[in-house]
Protein backbone atom coordinates (compact mmCIF):
# COMPACT_ATOMS: atom_id res chain seq x y z
CA UNK A 1 0.00 0.00 0.00
CA UNK A 2 1.33 3.44 -0.86
CA UNK A 3 2.37 5.67 2.02
CA UNK A 4 1.31 8.71 -0.01
CA UNK A 5 -1.36 10.73 1.79
CA UNK A 6 -4.59 10.97 -0.21
CA UNK A 7 -6.16 14.43 -0.12
CA UNK A 8 -9.15 13.40 -2.25
CA UNK A 9 -10.92 10.17 -3.08
CA UNK A 10 -10.32 8.55 -6.43
CA UNK A 11 -13.93 9.40 -7.26
CA UNK A 12 -13.36 13.09 -6.62
CA UNK A 13 -10.12 13.06 -8.59
CA UNK A 14 -12.07 11.47 -11.44
CA UNK A 15 -14.78 14.12 -11.28
CA UNK A 16 -12.20 16.91 -11.32
CA UNK A 17 -10.05 15.35 -14.02
CA UNK A 18 -9.45 18.11 -16.61
CA UNK A 19 -10.33 15.76 -19.45
CA UNK A 20 -13.63 14.88 -17.76
CA UNK A 21 -14.46 18.54 -17.12
CA UNK A 22 -13.68 19.37 -20.73
CA UNK A 23 -15.87 16.50 -21.92
CA UNK A 24 -18.83 17.76 -19.88
CA UNK A 25 -18.30 21.28 -21.23
CA UNK A 26 -18.30 19.83 -24.73
CA UNK A 27 -21.57 17.94 -24.10
CA UNK A 28 -23.25 21.09 -22.80
CA UNK A 29 -21.94 23.20 -25.69
CA UNK A 30 -22.89 20.69 -28.38
CA UNK A 31 -26.36 20.18 -26.87
CA UNK A 32 -26.86 23.94 -27.02
CA UNK A 33 -25.71 24.08 -30.63
CA UNK A 34 -28.12 21.37 -31.74
CA UNK A 35 -30.92 22.74 -29.55
CA UNK A 36 -30.59 26.17 -31.17
CA UNK A 37 -31.67 24.65 -34.51
CA UNK A 38 -35.13 23.94 -33.06
CA UNK A 39 -36.89 27.26 -33.56
CA UNK A 40 -40.52 26.60 -34.48
CA UNK A 41 -43.30 24.07 -34.75
CA UNK A 42 -42.92 21.65 -37.63
CA UNK A 43 -44.62 18.53 -38.93
CA UNK A 44 -43.08 15.09 -38.62
CA UNK A 45 -40.51 13.81 -41.06
CA UNK A 46 -42.21 11.41 -43.51
CA UNK A 47 -39.02 9.35 -43.67
CA UNK A 48 -39.38 8.64 -39.93
CA UNK A 49 -43.10 7.82 -39.96
CA UNK A 50 -42.78 4.06 -40.36
CA UNK A 51 -40.19 3.69 -37.62
CA UNK A 52 -42.17 6.03 -35.35
CA UNK A 53 -45.40 4.08 -35.89
CA UNK A 54 -43.53 0.90 -35.03
CA UNK A 55 -42.30 2.46 -31.79
CA UNK A 56 -45.86 3.49 -30.91
CA UNK A 57 -47.12 -0.04 -31.54
CA UNK A 58 -44.36 -1.50 -29.38
CA UNK A 59 -45.16 0.99 -26.61
CA UNK A 60 -48.86 0.09 -26.79
CA UNK A 61 -48.02 -3.62 -26.63
CA UNK A 62 -45.95 -3.07 -23.48
CA UNK A 63 -48.60 -0.93 -21.79
CA UNK A 64 -51.60 -2.96 -22.89
CA UNK A 65 -53.31 -0.05 -24.66
CA UNK A 66 -52.43 2.84 -26.93
CA UNK A 67 -50.77 5.92 -25.47
CA UNK A 68 -53.03 8.84 -24.56
CA UNK A 69 -51.14 11.03 -27.04
CA UNK A 70 -49.08 9.60 -29.91
CA UNK A 71 -46.01 11.15 -28.34
CA UNK A 72 -42.50 9.86 -27.84
CA UNK A 73 -39.87 12.50 -27.19
CA UNK A 74 -36.80 12.52 -29.36
CA UNK A 75 -34.43 13.68 -26.62
CA UNK A 76 -33.84 17.32 -27.52
CA UNK A 77 -35.71 20.60 -27.47
CA UNK A 78 -35.25 24.32 -27.12
CA UNK A 79 -36.94 26.00 -24.19
CA UNK A 80 -40.70 25.54 -24.59
CA UNK A 81 -40.27 23.65 -27.87
CA UNK A 82 -39.77 19.88 -27.85
CA UNK A 83 -38.77 17.58 -30.71
CA UNK A 84 -40.53 14.24 -31.02
CA UNK A 85 -39.01 11.01 -32.25
CA UNK A 86 -40.77 11.48 -35.61
CA UNK A 87 -38.99 14.80 -36.13
CA UNK A 88 -42.04 16.93 -35.37
CA UNK A 89 -41.68 19.92 -33.03
CA UNK A 90 -44.38 21.15 -30.66
CA UNK A 91 -44.91 23.82 -28.03
CA UNK A 92 -44.82 21.94 -24.73
CA UNK A 93 -47.42 23.64 -22.53
CA UNK A 94 -47.92 20.75 -20.11
CA UNK A 95 -44.29 19.57 -19.60
CA UNK A 96 -45.14 16.03 -18.55
CA UNK A 97 -47.72 17.34 -16.03
CA UNK A 98 -45.18 19.88 -14.87
CA UNK A 99 -42.05 17.74 -14.63
CA UNK A 100 -39.94 19.64 -17.19
CA UNK A 101 -40.21 23.04 -15.53
CA UNK A 102 -36.81 24.13 -16.85
CA UNK A 103 -37.89 23.45 -20.42
CA UNK A 104 -36.06 21.27 -22.89
CA UNK A 105 -32.27 21.01 -23.21
CA UNK A 106 -31.68 23.72 -20.61
CA UNK A 107 -27.87 24.00 -20.19
CA UNK A 108 -28.06 23.68 -16.39
CA UNK A 109 -30.08 20.47 -16.73
CA UNK A 110 -27.78 19.01 -19.39
CA UNK A 111 -24.79 19.74 -17.17
CA UNK A 112 -26.46 18.27 -14.08
CA UNK A 113 -27.31 15.08 -15.97
CA UNK A 114 -23.76 14.77 -17.24
CA UNK A 115 -22.46 15.24 -13.70
CA UNK A 116 -24.81 12.49 -12.51
CA UNK A 117 -23.35 10.11 -15.09
CA UNK A 118 -20.01 10.25 -13.24
CA UNK A 119 -21.54 8.67 -10.14
CA UNK A 120 -21.49 4.87 -9.97
CA UNK A 121 -24.34 4.94 -7.42
CA UNK A 122 -27.02 5.15 -10.07
CA UNK A 123 -29.85 4.39 -7.65
CA UNK A 124 -29.74 5.96 -4.21
CA UNK A 125 -31.47 4.43 -1.23
CA UNK A 126 -31.52 3.72 2.46
CA UNK A 127 -28.34 1.61 2.53
CA UNK A 128 -26.40 3.01 -0.43
CA UNK A 129 -26.36 6.67 -1.35
CA UNK A 130 -23.97 9.43 -2.20
CA UNK A 131 -24.34 12.78 -0.48
CA UNK A 132 -26.17 14.18 -3.52
CA UNK A 133 -29.49 13.05 -2.06
CA UNK A 134 -28.86 14.82 1.23
CA UNK A 135 -27.48 17.91 -0.47
CA UNK A 136 -30.77 18.18 -2.35
CA UNK A 137 -32.62 17.74 0.95
CA UNK A 138 -30.48 20.42 2.61
CA UNK A 139 -31.25 22.93 -0.11
CA UNK A 140 -34.95 22.19 -0.01
CA UNK A 141 -35.11 22.48 3.77
CA UNK A 142 -33.17 25.73 3.79
CA UNK A 143 -35.70 27.26 1.43
CA UNK A 144 -38.67 25.77 3.29
CA UNK A 145 -37.48 26.98 6.68
CA UNK A 146 -37.60 30.63 5.66
CA UNK A 147 -41.32 30.66 6.47
CA UNK A 148 -42.21 27.39 8.17
CA UNK A 149 -41.28 25.08 11.05
CA UNK A 150 -40.35 22.20 8.70
CA UNK A 151 -37.10 20.65 9.90
CA UNK A 152 -36.40 17.27 8.28
CA UNK A 153 -36.86 15.63 4.89
CA UNK A 154 -37.25 12.10 3.55
CA UNK A 155 -36.52 11.65 -0.14
CA UNK A 156 -38.45 9.15 -2.22
CA UNK A 157 -39.17 8.07 -5.78
CA UNK A 158 -42.57 9.61 -6.60
CA UNK A 159 -45.20 12.04 -5.45
CA UNK A 160 -47.49 9.19 -4.42
CA UNK A 161 -44.74 7.71 -2.25
CA UNK A 162 -44.04 11.13 -0.73
CA UNK A 163 -47.72 11.27 0.21
CA UNK A 164 -47.59 7.72 1.58
CA UNK A 165 -44.69 8.77 3.81
CA UNK A 166 -46.63 11.82 4.97
CA UNK A 167 -49.68 9.76 5.84
CA UNK A 168 -47.57 7.25 7.76
CA UNK A 169 -45.99 10.04 9.79
CA UNK A 170 -49.43 11.47 10.60
CA UNK A 171 -50.88 8.08 11.53
CA UNK A 172 -47.93 7.31 13.81
CA UNK A 173 -48.09 10.67 15.55
CA UNK A 174 -51.83 10.44 16.16
CA UNK A 175 -52.32 6.69 16.66
CA UNK A 176 -54.87 5.17 16.90
CA UNK A 177 -56.57 7.88 14.77
CA UNK A 178 -57.47 6.30 11.43
CA UNK A 179 -59.53 8.87 9.51
CA UNK A 180 -58.34 11.42 6.96
CA UNK A 181 -59.86 14.78 6.05
CA UNK A 182 -59.49 15.99 2.48
CA UNK A 183 -60.96 18.50 0.05
CA UNK A 184 -63.43 17.52 -2.64
CA UNK A 185 -61.76 17.16 -6.06
CA UNK A 186 -58.34 16.45 -4.51
CA UNK A 187 -55.78 14.22 -6.18
CA UNK A 188 -53.21 12.34 -4.11
CA UNK A 189 -51.57 9.83 -6.43
CA UNK A 190 -52.24 6.34 -7.72
CA UNK A 191 -51.06 3.98 -4.98
CA UNK A 192 -53.78 1.84 -3.36
CA UNK A 193 -54.14 4.22 -0.42
CA UNK A 194 -53.72 7.49 -2.28
CA UNK A 195 -56.30 6.62 -4.94
CA UNK A 196 -58.80 6.07 -2.14
CA UNK A 197 -58.15 9.54 -0.70
CA UNK A 198 -58.22 11.18 -4.14
CA UNK A 199 -61.73 12.31 -5.08
CA UNK A 200 -62.01 10.50 -8.40
CA UNK A 201 -64.26 7.46 -8.80
CA UNK A 202 -62.40 6.38 -11.94
CA UNK A 203 -59.07 6.46 -10.14
CA UNK A 204 -60.20 3.91 -7.55
CA UNK A 205 -62.47 1.68 -9.66
CA UNK A 206 -62.27 -1.88 -8.34
CA UNK A 207 -60.09 -0.92 -5.35
CA UNK A 208 -61.32 -2.05 -1.89
CA UNK A 209 -62.11 1.05 0.15
CA UNK A 210 -60.20 0.60 3.39
CA UNK A 211 -59.16 4.21 4.06
CA UNK A 212 -61.77 6.33 5.85
CA UNK A 213 -61.98 9.77 4.27
CA UNK A 214 -64.23 12.75 5.04
CA UNK A 215 -64.44 15.37 2.30
CA UNK A 216 -64.69 19.12 2.74
CA UNK A 217 -65.75 21.61 0.04
CA UNK A 218 -62.95 23.65 -1.51
CA UNK A 219 -63.22 27.38 -2.05
CA UNK A 220 -65.48 28.24 -4.98
CA UNK A 221 -66.29 31.81 -5.97
CA UNK A 222 -69.70 30.94 -7.39
CA UNK A 223 -70.68 29.04 -4.23
CA UNK A 224 -69.44 31.96 -2.13
CA UNK A 225 -71.81 34.28 -3.97
CA UNK A 226 -74.71 31.86 -3.66
CA UNK A 227 -74.43 31.55 0.13
CA UNK A 228 -74.13 35.29 0.63
CA UNK A 229 -70.43 36.05 0.81
CA UNK A 230 -67.04 34.86 1.99
CA UNK A 231 -67.77 35.08 5.71
CA UNK A 232 -70.83 32.84 5.47
CA UNK A 233 -69.00 30.33 3.26
CA UNK A 234 -66.08 30.15 5.70
CA UNK A 235 -68.39 29.89 8.71
CA UNK A 236 -70.29 27.06 7.07
CA UNK A 237 -67.03 25.27 6.16
CA UNK A 238 -65.79 25.56 9.75
CA UNK A 239 -69.15 24.25 10.99
CA UNK A 240 -68.98 21.33 8.60
CA UNK A 241 -65.43 20.46 9.64
CA UNK A 242 -66.43 20.55 13.29
CA UNK A 243 -69.33 18.22 12.51
CA UNK A 244 -66.89 15.60 11.23
CA UNK A 245 -64.65 16.04 14.25
CA UNK A 246 -67.58 15.73 16.67
CA UNK A 247 -68.93 12.67 14.86
CA UNK A 248 -65.55 10.88 15.08
CA UNK A 249 -63.84 12.37 18.16
CA UNK A 250 -60.08 11.86 18.20
CA UNK A 251 -60.16 9.75 15.04
CA UNK A 252 -58.77 12.19 12.44
CA UNK A 253 -55.01 11.93 11.97
CA UNK A 254 -54.66 14.70 9.40
CA UNK A 255 -56.26 17.10 6.95
CA UNK A 256 -54.58 16.80 3.57
CA UNK A 257 -54.71 20.16 1.78
CA UNK A 258 -53.69 21.10 -1.73
CA UNK A 259 -53.50 24.85 -1.13
CA UNK A 260 -53.89 25.22 -4.90
CA UNK A 261 -55.69 22.21 -6.34
CA UNK A 262 -54.06 20.53 -9.32
CA UNK A 263 -56.00 17.74 -11.03
CA UNK A 264 -59.19 19.04 -9.44
CA UNK A 265 -59.16 22.12 -11.63
CA UNK A 266 -56.35 24.55 -10.67
CA UNK A 267 -58.63 25.91 -7.98
CA UNK A 268 -57.30 28.76 -5.85
CA UNK A 269 -58.52 29.51 -2.32
CA UNK A 270 -58.16 32.49 0.02
CA UNK A 271 -55.96 32.83 3.07
CA UNK A 272 -58.92 33.40 5.40
CA UNK A 273 -60.63 30.21 4.24
CA UNK A 274 -57.56 28.01 4.61
CA UNK A 275 -56.48 29.58 7.88
CA UNK A 276 -59.91 29.08 9.44
CA UNK A 277 -59.78 25.36 8.69
CA UNK A 278 -56.18 25.08 9.87
CA UNK A 279 -57.12 26.78 13.14
CA UNK A 280 -59.80 24.14 13.73
CA UNK A 281 -57.25 21.40 13.02
CA UNK A 282 -54.79 22.88 15.50
CA UNK A 283 -57.48 23.18 18.16
CA UNK A 284 -58.34 19.50 17.70
CA UNK A 285 -54.83 18.02 17.40
CA UNK A 286 -55.16 17.17 13.70
CA UNK A 287 -52.07 17.39 11.49
CA UNK A 288 -52.05 19.97 8.69
CA UNK A 289 -50.57 18.19 5.67
CA UNK A 290 -49.70 20.47 2.75
CA UNK A 291 -49.45 18.67 -0.61
CA UNK A 292 -47.55 20.92 -3.06
CA UNK A 293 -46.49 18.21 -5.48
CA UNK A 294 -48.03 20.10 -8.39
CA UNK A 295 -48.05 23.66 -7.05
CA UNK A 296 -44.52 23.98 -5.60
CA UNK A 297 -42.47 26.64 -7.37
CA UNK A 298 -45.28 27.71 -9.70
CA UNK A 299 -47.26 30.29 -7.73
CA UNK A 300 -46.14 33.85 -7.04
CA UNK A 301 -44.16 32.41 -4.11
CA UNK A 302 -41.87 29.42 -4.15
CA UNK A 303 -44.10 27.61 -1.65
CA UNK A 304 -47.88 27.90 -1.78
CA UNK A 305 -47.93 28.25 2.01
CA UNK A 306 -45.82 31.38 1.52
CA UNK A 307 -48.36 32.70 -0.98
CA UNK A 308 -50.99 32.51 1.77
CA UNK A 309 -48.63 33.24 4.69
CA UNK A 310 -49.61 29.98 6.39
CA UNK A 311 -46.26 28.29 6.94
CA UNK A 312 -46.61 28.33 10.72
CA UNK A 313 -49.55 25.89 10.48
CA UNK A 314 -47.89 23.27 8.27
CA UNK A 315 -46.86 20.04 10.04
CA UNK A 316 -46.13 17.83 7.03
CA UNK A 317 -45.33 18.86 3.46
CA UNK A 318 -44.85 17.00 0.16
CA UNK A 319 -43.09 18.07 -3.02
CA UNK A 320 -42.33 16.44 -6.34
CA UNK A 321 -42.80 16.73 -10.10
CA UNK A 322 -40.66 19.74 -11.07
CA UNK A 323 -38.10 18.96 -8.35
CA UNK A 324 -37.32 15.59 -10.03
CA UNK A 325 -36.59 14.05 -6.63
CA UNK A 326 -39.68 13.80 -4.44
CA UNK A 327 -39.67 14.47 -0.71
CA UNK A 328 -41.73 14.54 2.47
CA UNK A 329 -40.84 17.32 4.90
CA UNK A 330 -42.00 17.43 8.50
CA UNK A 331 -41.55 19.37 11.71
CA UNK A 332 -39.65 17.98 14.67
CA UNK A 333 -42.94 16.93 16.27
CA UNK A 334 -43.73 14.73 13.26
CA UNK A 335 -40.26 13.24 12.87
CA UNK A 336 -41.19 9.53 12.67
CA UNK A 337 -39.66 6.80 14.78
CA UNK A 338 -36.87 4.64 13.26
CA UNK A 339 -38.12 2.08 10.77
CA UNK A 340 -41.28 3.83 9.62
CA UNK A 341 -39.75 5.52 6.57
CA UNK A 342 -37.20 3.70 4.48
CA UNK A 343 -36.71 2.37 0.98
CA UNK A 344 -34.34 0.52 -1.31
CA UNK A 345 -34.60 3.45 -3.74
CA UNK A 346 -34.95 7.16 -3.05
CA UNK A 347 -34.07 8.27 -6.57
CA UNK A 348 -31.49 8.32 -9.36
CA UNK A 349 -28.32 10.39 -9.27
CA UNK A 350 -29.79 12.69 -11.92
CA UNK A 351 -32.92 13.22 -9.79
CA UNK A 352 -30.78 14.90 -7.18
CA UNK A 353 -28.33 16.76 -9.42
CA UNK A 354 -31.09 18.16 -11.63
CA UNK A 355 -33.31 18.81 -8.62
CA UNK A 356 -30.52 20.77 -6.93
CA UNK A 357 -29.90 22.76 -10.11
CA UNK A 358 -33.60 23.65 -10.24
CA UNK A 359 -33.66 24.78 -6.60
CA UNK A 360 -30.58 26.92 -7.24
CA UNK A 361 -32.29 28.48 -10.26
CA UNK A 362 -35.51 29.26 -8.37
CA UNK A 363 -33.60 30.69 -5.41
CA UNK A 364 -31.58 33.05 -7.62
CA UNK A 365 -33.76 35.23 -9.78
CA UNK A 366 -36.72 37.58 -9.96
CA UNK A 367 -39.27 34.85 -10.52
CA UNK A 368 -41.58 35.53 -7.59
CA UNK A 369 -43.75 38.30 -6.21
CA UNK A 370 -46.66 40.21 -7.72
CA UNK A 371 -44.29 41.79 -10.26
CA UNK A 372 -42.11 38.73 -10.79
CA UNK A 373 -41.51 36.84 -14.01
CA UNK A 374 -44.08 34.14 -13.23
CA UNK A 375 -46.78 36.72 -12.46
CA UNK A 376 -45.95 38.51 -15.72
CA UNK A 377 -46.32 35.28 -17.68
CA UNK A 378 -49.63 34.56 -15.99
CA UNK A 379 -50.89 38.03 -16.88
CA UNK A 380 -49.91 37.48 -20.52
CA UNK A 381 -51.62 34.08 -20.53
CA UNK A 382 -54.83 35.73 -19.31
CA UNK A 383 -54.47 38.47 -21.92
CA UNK A 384 -54.19 35.88 -24.67
CA UNK A 385 -57.26 33.99 -23.45
CA UNK A 386 -59.20 37.22 -23.12
CA UNK A 387 -58.36 37.95 -26.74
CA UNK A 388 -59.87 34.60 -27.72
CA UNK A 389 -62.98 35.35 -25.68
CA UNK A 390 -63.38 38.77 -27.29
CA UNK A 391 -62.98 37.44 -30.84
CA UNK A 392 -64.99 34.23 -30.34
CA UNK A 393 -67.55 34.67 -27.55
CA UNK A 394 -69.50 31.67 -28.86
CA UNK A 395 -66.56 29.45 -27.90
CA UNK A 396 -66.92 30.52 -24.27
CA UNK A 397 -70.48 29.92 -23.02
CA UNK A 398 -71.06 29.88 -19.26
CA UNK A 399 -69.84 26.79 -17.43
CA UNK A 400 -71.64 25.33 -14.42
CA UNK A 401 -69.95 25.97 -11.06
CA UNK A 402 -67.39 28.19 -12.80
CA UNK A 403 -67.61 31.94 -12.22
CA UNK A 404 -64.51 32.83 -14.24
CA UNK A 405 -63.56 31.16 -17.54
CA UNK A 406 -59.84 31.87 -17.11
CA UNK A 407 -57.95 31.27 -13.90
CA UNK A 408 -55.20 29.65 -11.91
CA UNK A 409 -52.14 31.33 -10.43
CA UNK A 410 -48.56 31.79 -11.64
CA UNK A 411 -47.49 28.84 -13.75
CA UNK A 412 -50.73 26.95 -13.07
CA UNK A 413 -52.99 28.22 -15.86
CA UNK A 414 -56.46 27.19 -16.99
CA UNK A 415 -59.26 28.35 -19.24
CA UNK A 416 -62.72 26.91 -19.84
CA UNK A 417 -64.02 26.89 -23.42
CA UNK A 418 -67.09 25.09 -24.76
CA UNK A 419 -68.89 25.24 -21.42
CA UNK A 420 -66.35 22.88 -19.87
CA UNK A 421 -67.79 19.96 -21.86
CA UNK A 422 -65.61 16.89 -21.29
CA UNK A 423 -65.78 15.58 -24.84
CA UNK A 424 -64.96 18.91 -26.44
CA UNK A 425 -62.14 19.65 -24.00
CA UNK A 426 -60.64 16.23 -24.75
CA UNK A 427 -61.01 16.79 -28.47
CA UNK A 428 -59.36 20.21 -28.24
CA UNK A 429 -56.35 18.68 -26.50
CA UNK A 430 -55.90 16.15 -29.31
CA UNK A 431 -56.48 18.64 -32.11
CA UNK A 432 -54.04 21.10 -30.55
CA UNK A 433 -51.46 18.31 -30.36
CA UNK A 434 -51.90 17.68 -34.07
CA UNK A 435 -51.52 21.41 -34.77
CA UNK A 436 -48.41 21.74 -32.61
CA UNK A 437 -49.27 22.56 -28.97
CA UNK A 438 -49.31 20.03 -26.14
CA UNK A 439 -52.17 20.76 -23.72
CA UNK A 440 -54.02 18.75 -21.12
CA UNK A 441 -57.22 18.94 -19.11
CA UNK A 442 -58.09 19.23 -15.43
CA UNK A 443 -61.22 19.42 -13.33
CA UNK A 444 -64.13 17.06 -12.78
CA UNK A 445 -66.98 19.04 -14.33
CA UNK A 446 -66.63 21.56 -15.64
CA UNK A 447 -63.48 20.43 -17.38
CA UNK A 448 -60.77 22.94 -18.20
CA UNK A 449 -57.79 23.27 -20.50
CA UNK A 450 -54.71 23.47 -18.32
CA UNK A 451 -51.20 24.64 -18.99
CA UNK A 452 -48.08 23.94 -16.96
CA UNK A 453 -45.56 25.71 -19.20
CA UNK A 454 -41.78 25.58 -18.63
CA UNK A 455 -41.77 28.90 -16.79
CA UNK A 456 -38.01 29.21 -16.45
CA UNK A 457 -37.55 28.79 -20.23
CA UNK A 458 -40.73 30.47 -21.48
CA UNK A 459 -40.28 33.77 -23.32
CA UNK A 460 -42.96 36.47 -23.39
CA UNK A 461 -42.83 36.50 -27.19
CA UNK A 462 -43.71 32.76 -27.20
CA UNK A 463 -47.28 33.37 -26.05
CA UNK A 464 -48.73 34.82 -29.27
CA UNK A 465 -47.17 31.97 -31.26
CA UNK A 466 -48.68 29.40 -28.91
CA UNK A 467 -52.13 30.98 -28.95
CA UNK A 468 -52.17 31.35 -32.71
CA UNK A 469 -52.14 27.56 -32.81
CA UNK A 470 -54.60 27.26 -29.92
CA UNK A 471 -57.03 29.53 -31.76
CA UNK A 472 -56.69 27.51 -34.95
CA UNK A 473 -57.30 24.32 -32.98
CA UNK A 474 -60.37 25.71 -31.25
CA UNK A 475 -61.75 26.78 -34.62
CA UNK A 476 -61.42 23.19 -35.84
CA UNK A 477 -63.24 21.82 -32.80
CA UNK A 478 -65.99 24.43 -33.09
CA UNK A 479 -66.47 23.79 -36.81
CA UNK A 480 -66.60 20.03 -36.35
CA UNK A 481 -69.37 20.40 -33.76
CATH of the domain at 274: 3.40.640.10
Whether residue 110 lies inside any domain: the answer is no
pLDDT in tens, the chain (481 residues): 444 556 789 999 999 999 999 999 999 999 999 999 999 999 999 999 889 999 999 999 999 999 888 889 999 999 999 999 999 999 999 999 999 999 999 999 999 999 999 999 899 998 889 999 999 999 999 999 999 999 999 999 999 999 999 999 999 999 999 999 999 999 999 999 999 999 999 899 999 999 999 999 999 999 999 999 999 999 999 999 999 999 999 999 999 999 999 999 999 999 999 999 999 999 999 999 999 999 999 999 999 999 999 999 999 999 999 999 999 999 999 999 999 999 899 999 999 999 999 999 999 989 999 999 999 999 999 999 999 999 999 999 999 888 899 999 999 999 999 999 999 999 999 999 999 999 999 998 899 999 999 999 999 999 999 999 999 999 999 998 7
Q: Which domain holds residue 382?
A: 37-98+366-481
69 domain-assigned: yes
The total number of structural domains in the chain stands at 2
- Of 363, 390, 420, the one marking the end of a domain is 363
Residue 279 lies in a domain: yes
Give the pairing of strands 316-319 and 326-330: antiparallel
Q: Is 313 a domain residue?
A: yes
In a domain, 144, yes or no: yes
Q: Is residue 5 part of a domain?
A: no
pTM of the model: 0.95
Domain presence at residue 460:
yes
Query: In this structure, what CATH number is given to the domain that contains residue 65?
Result: 3.90.1150.10
- For residue 155, being part of any structural domain is answered with yes
Judgement on whether residues 180 and 289 belong to the same structural domain of the protein: yes
137 and 283 in a single domain? The answer is yes
Amino acid sequence: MSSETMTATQAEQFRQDPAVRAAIDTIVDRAAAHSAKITDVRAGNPDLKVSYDELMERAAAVKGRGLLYPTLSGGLGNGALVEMADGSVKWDMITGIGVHFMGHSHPAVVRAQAEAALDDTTKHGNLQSSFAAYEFGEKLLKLAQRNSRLKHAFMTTSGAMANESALKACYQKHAPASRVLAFKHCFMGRSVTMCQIGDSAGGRQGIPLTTQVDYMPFWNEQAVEEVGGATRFIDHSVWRLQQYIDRYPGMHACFIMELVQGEGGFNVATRDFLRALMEVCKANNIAVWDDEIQSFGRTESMFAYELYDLGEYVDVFCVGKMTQACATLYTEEYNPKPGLLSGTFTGNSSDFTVGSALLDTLADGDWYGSGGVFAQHHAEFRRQVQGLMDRHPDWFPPATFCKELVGGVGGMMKFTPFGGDKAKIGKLCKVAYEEGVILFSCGHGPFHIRMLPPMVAMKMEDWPRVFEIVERSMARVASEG
